[in-house]
Amino acid sequence: MRIDIISVVPELMQSAFSHSILKRAIAAGLVEVNLINLRDYAIGKQKQVDDYAFGGGAGMVLMIEPIAACINDLKSKRHYDEVIYMSPDGQRLTQKISNQLSLIKSIIILCGHYKGVDERVREHFITREISIGDYVLSGGELPAAVLSDSIIRLLPGVLNDETSALSDSFQDNLLAPPVYTRPSEYKGWAVPEVLLSGHGKKIEQWRHEQSLLRTTQRRPDLLL
């Protein structure tokens, strides 16, 4: 898989891809992540990427010309399955969306900044808009890193145990069950006996029951 992320501050995302699971996935060649500086496509003598909004109002807007030049340059070299814009008014990110995106080959992610991007970018270049929640951040860089992480960990070979992702919260519209590790008892707080029994079927049944109970208590909306 290839993920190209367009940003005016790509250095904000460098750490996210330089550690742990994502770093190993990139090093193993399971995914290619490119952080593209929109300022490399800036226009005019002033090397401009943003301007004031028509009609007035506070805040700057990312201009269509550098974004169009960047996306067109990328598309001239390869096909992209999706061009995604990270936006608070996009479709709310879910595990189902991450699952879908993990099956495609190449993605462009555009990070908004300031007051966003010229609407014509969204109308003519973007194929999908995604939000990570009903709140506003300084830019789309952190959401882009979140989206990328949620996709990359699903790629074959990224996790040491590929079945691990299948038991994550939301994979089957249930929250994940409680998990425990050693010691089996701490200050009188004991691990449920069934998990120590070695009985696979009973453990699987217990985990499902706990997932259902936790979802009912904490996220009943997932069961509707």
Measured CA to CA, the distance from residue 52 to residue 127 in angstroms comes to 25
Grade residue 6 by pLDDT with cuts at 50, 70 and 90. Answer: very high
The pLDDT of residue 166: 60
Query: Could you tell me the sign of the dihedral formed by the alpha carbons of 5, 11, 138, 102, in that order?
Result: positive
Same domain, 66 and 101: yes
One domain, residues 84 and 29: yes
Q: In this model, does residue 49 exceed pLDDT 90?
A: yes
159 domain-assigned: no
Bridge partners, residue 92, by sequence:
131
Looking at residue 224, its pLDDT comes to 87
Domain count for the chain: 2
Residue 160 lies in a domain: no
Answer yes or no: is pLDDT of 72 > 70: yes
How high is the pLDDT of residue 71?
Answer: 98
Cα 10 from Cα 109, distance rounded (Å): 12
Which region, left, alpha or beta, applies to residue 59 given φ > 0 means left and ψ of -120 to 50 means alpha?
Answer: left
Q: Which two tokens stand for residue 44?
A: 């005019």
At residue 169 the predicted structure's pLDDT band, cuts being 50, 70 and 90, is low
Of the pLDDT bands very low, low, confident and very high (cuts 50, 70, 90), residue 108 is very high
**pLDDT tier, 165 (very low <50, low <70, confident <90, very high otherwise):** low
Does 167 score more than 70 pLDDT? Answer: no
Instruction: Fill in the DSSP letter of residue 51.
Output: E
In this predicted structure, the answer to whether residue 95 has a pLDDT above a threshold of 60 is yes
Q: Estimate the share of the chain in helix, then strand, then coil, as percent rounded to the nearest 5.
A: 40, 20, 40
Q: Please give the average per-residue pLDDT across 60-78, as a whole number.
A: 98
Question: Mean pLDDT, to the nearest integer, of 5-32?
Answer: 97
pLDDT at 168 over 70: no
Across the chain, mean pLDDT equals 94
For 115-153, what is each residue's pLDDT tens digit? 999 999 999 999 999 999 999 999 999 999 999 999 999
Name the pLDDT band for 162 (thresholds 50, 70, 90).
Answer: low
Calculate the dihedral angle through the C-alpha atoms of 60, 34, 162, 127, rounding to the nearest 10 degrees. 50
Whether 101 maps to a domain, the answer reads yes
Flag whether 98 is in a domain: yes
Say yes or no: 173 and 142 in one domain: no
User: What is the residue range of 117's domain?
Assistant: 2-152
Question: Quick one: average pLDDT of 216-221?
Answer: 96
Percent of the chain having pLDDT more than 70? 96
Q: What percent of the chain has pLDDT over 90?
A: 90
Looking at the fold, whether 114 and 83 belong to one and the same domain comes out as yes
CATH code of residue 117: 3.40.1280.10
Check if the beta carbon of residue 194 is closer than 8 Å to that of residue 206. yes
Split at pLDDT 50, 70, 90, the class of 164 is low
Report whether 28 contacts 155 (CB < 8 A): no
Q: Tell me, what CATH number does 216's domain have?
A: 1.10.1270.20
